[in-house]
Amino acid sequence: MNRKLVFLNLALLALAGVLAWTLRNNWFSAQSQQSAVIQKKVEPRKLLAPPPVAPAKPVAPAEYLDVAARMLFSKDRNATVVIETPPPKPAPPEPPMPALPGYHGQMAIGEPVAFLSTSAVPQRSYHAGESIGDFKLVSFDKESMEFEWHGKSIQRKLDELKPKETAPAQAAARSTPGNAPSAAAGAPAGPVVSLSGSSGSSATDTKDSGSDDPMFGPVQADGTRACQPSDSSLSGTVHSGYKKSMTVTLFGSICHWEQNK
């Protein structure tokens, strides 16, 4: 047993000696390699010169338009100003056309004139081109008449423009007991009692109805009665003892009621 242990110890000592010798050789080899690397001279590399720097371009203001347009801290950063136009207002509705002037006749001595009237304007003569109320008399002849209203042309027959009998005249006709229709063909119904020259006048035709008769106007200096603006009865009409007389002159028509003799 002791001999085996002695041989084993000797083998272990030999192995330890081999390991120590190997470690020493490796350490010296590493040291020599390190010294060779450190002591080796490195040749410096040749550096190329940098390319020349291009000169800076002068500043152009137009190149900064995009910067100014996108500046977040500026209220007017948007160069395109959008102006909002309100929608157009609808045109106001056209007012209703008033009643056309009433036609009472015309005269062609010299420059032709037409005798017209409205509810607010009494009867008088008008030449072509003159205005009556809201209308303008453009032209007229023996059959028709043309007006202008708000730029529109309005043509009517003369028969359509003749004034109709007014309500006061109808009331006066109904209140007169002796009223009778006119014997002339086509004469308008109303307060006409009889025409001049008729032989069948009744006693009530010569009776004066007084100043309260709505058919007559105020008493004039010569004793005649003035005509009402709304009176549309024909010349020669006899009413309550008075006879209507109309005279057409160059300056218009003269109308009055005179006592029937």
CATH number at residue 108: 2.30.30
Q: Could you report the per-residue pLDDT of 116-168, keeping only the tens digit for each?
A: 988 888 888 898 989 988 899 999 998 899 999 888 899 999 888 887 755 44
Q: Could you report the per-residue pLDDT of 43-53, keeping only the tens digit for each?
A: 888 888 888 88
Q: Give the three-state DSSP class for 57.
A: coil
The amino acid that residue 55 corresponds to is: P
pLDDT per residue of the chain (261 residues) written in tens, 0 to 9: 688 888 888 999 999 999 999 999 999 999 999 988 888 888 888 888 888 888 888 888 888 777 777 766 766 666 666 788 888 888 888 888 888 888 988 888 878 899 998 888 888 889 898 998 889 999 999 889 999 988 889 999 988 888 775 544 444 545 544 443 333 333 333 333 333 333 333 333 333 444 568 778 888 777 788 888 878 788 888 888 888 888 877 667 788 888 887
202 and 237 share one domain: yes
Cβ-based neighbours of 223, under 8 Å, separated by 6 or more:
258, 259
- Whether residue 200 is contained in a domain is answered as yes
252 and 173 share one domain: yes
- Whether residue 64 is contained in a domain is answered as no
- Whether residue 73 is contained in a domain is answered as no
Q: Longest C-alpha distance within the chain, in Å?
A: 198
- Whether residue 12 is contained in a domain is answered as no
- Whether residue 88 is contained in a domain is answered as no
250 and 173 share one domain: yes
Q: Residue 253 is part of which domain span?
A: 167-182+189-259
- Whether residue 28 is contained in a domain is answered as no
173 and 157 share one domain: no
Distance, in Å, from the CA atom of 83 to the CA atom of 73, rounded to the nearest integer, reads 22
Q: Is the pTM of this model over 0.75?
A: no
What is the Cα Rg of the chain in Å?
Answer: 63
